Chain A
Amino acid sequence: MHQHLLRQAQDDKGQESVAAPAAKLGRAIVVTSGKGGVGKTTTTANLGTALAARGARVALIDADVGLRNLDIVLGLESRVKYHVLDVLEDKVSLDEALVPDKHSPTLVLLAAAQSREKDEVDTEKMRALVQGLRERYDYVLIDCPAGIELGFKNAVVGADEAIVVCTPEVSAVRDVDRVVGLLGNRFKPQLIINRLRPQLVKKGKMLSVEDVNAILRLPLLGVIADEPEIIITTNKGEPLALRHDSETASAYHAIAARIAGEDVPAPSPELKESFIDKLGSLFGGKRA
């Protein structure tokens, strides 16, 4: 699998047809957290972009039926015609519903239904849909809704791996602990710590990467700093991972490389000071 991806990354990006049949089954990875608002959707969009930048064929599924958001983060909202329930209910073909990304030629999105509800998703059909996508894409990333109810179950049903996103907060760590318990061993969950503010950690005002992972004890995929640019890129609908001038973008690319099995140096919890922290200390401002 990794060999396959590396070879593909060396080829000219995007030369292969996005929908060409893959020799092997791709990997289906659910991005989950339990708690809402920790950055699952942003993480999914950026990891999808970063994996596609390596030449991999990537399908993103927004499994948050009723609260569709992934199309917004990717800037694809005006292109979405059909959604995941249209496919599950055989109203349209998968090809009709997959939206090609604006920026990454090997990335596609299957949007969630905004005006439907989570209990309308047929769990077994969802499993079959993900399986079908794995035959055509190297990676299928599933953006899981918050919560541990039916929406969560439908999001994980087709996955064989999990990435859990956690912010350095008591409530987020508690919810990840619960979700990891629910996932069990089958999904080999790996951790991304999101929205870390190194300056606050240094001052003893925020849980550190070590604090969080002393409790969760999960393989650490990466650490993403709390980055104002994320807000701006989300405003524009252009994932930060598209940029080359940002340390946070590099962190996403490093995570993508780690997912692809490359031996990248372990993520450093000692992130450089973010711009806003520098600005804060420049003016002697206190950031409680």
Chain B
Amino acid sequence: MIEWVKKVFGAPTSSSTAKERLRLVLMTDHLALAPEIIENMKRDLVDVISRYVEVDRDKVEVNFEREDRALAMLANIPIVSVNRPSPPPEPAKPAPTASHSGPPPRRRRRKKPPTQNPAAAH
């Protein structure tokens, strides 16, 4: 009876819950298994933001968090100075990344970050 009521009022079936959990868990798995993608994404993200403000590249943190029904990317990018180093380049011009031949991509395991605001300015 309770099940019938739930069904009528559109409570999710357990198989749709399973489907949703599966979707999220696989997104997380695939991200964890592709550290080089995360490193590339982090580099590009910092490159874009650096066009407008000066950031502390060494302290950039990118994390992924599972919320109830979604996966969120949290980036903590400390801003050193808002004085633009130079006028922003023409929009949508892909920045050459040759200058960024820093250390080889580190393997990053997902870890729980300390509570922080996304893209919080320091």
Contact = CB atoms under 8 A, between A and B. Distances in A.
Interface of A: 169-170, 173-174, 177-178, 181, 200-201, 203-208, 211, 215, 286
B14 A170 contact: no
Given A170-B22, A215-B23, A181 B15 contact: no
Q: How large is the interface on B (under 10, 10 to 19, 20 to 34, 35 or more residues)?
A: 10 to 19
Contact of A205 (B15, B21, B29, B33): B15
B119 interface: no
Interface of B: 3, 13-16, 18-19, 21-23, 25-26, 29, 33
B16 A204 contact: yes
B16 A181 contact: no
A215 B26 contact: yes
Given A174-B26, A215-B26, A204 B14 contact: yes
A205 B18 CA distance: 9
B15 A177 contact: no
B22 A208 contact: no
Nearest to A204: B13
Q: Residue among B13, B16, B19, B22 with the most chain A CB within 10 A?
A: B22
A286 B22 CA distance: 26
B26 A208 contact: no
B13 A205 contact: yes
Contacts of B29: 174, 177-178
Contact of B19 (A174, A181, A203, A211): A211
B14 A205 contact: yes
Nearest to A174: B25
A173 B15 contact: no
A200 B19 CA distance: 14
Nearest to B20: A170
5 contacts: A170-B18, A174-B29, A177-B29, A204-B14, A215-B23
Nearest to B19: A211
A173 B13 contact: no
Contacts of A174: 22, 25-26, 29
A204 B26 contact: no
A170 B33 contact: no
Contacts of A208: 15
Contacts of B13: 203-205
Contacts of A286: 3
Nearest to B28: A174
Given A170-B18, A181-B33, 14 more contacts: A170-B25, A174-B29, A177-B26, A178-B29, A200-B15, A204-B13, A204-B15, A204-B16, A205-B14, A206-B18, A207-B15, A208-B15, A211-B18, A211-B19
Contacts of A200: 15
Nearest to A211: B19
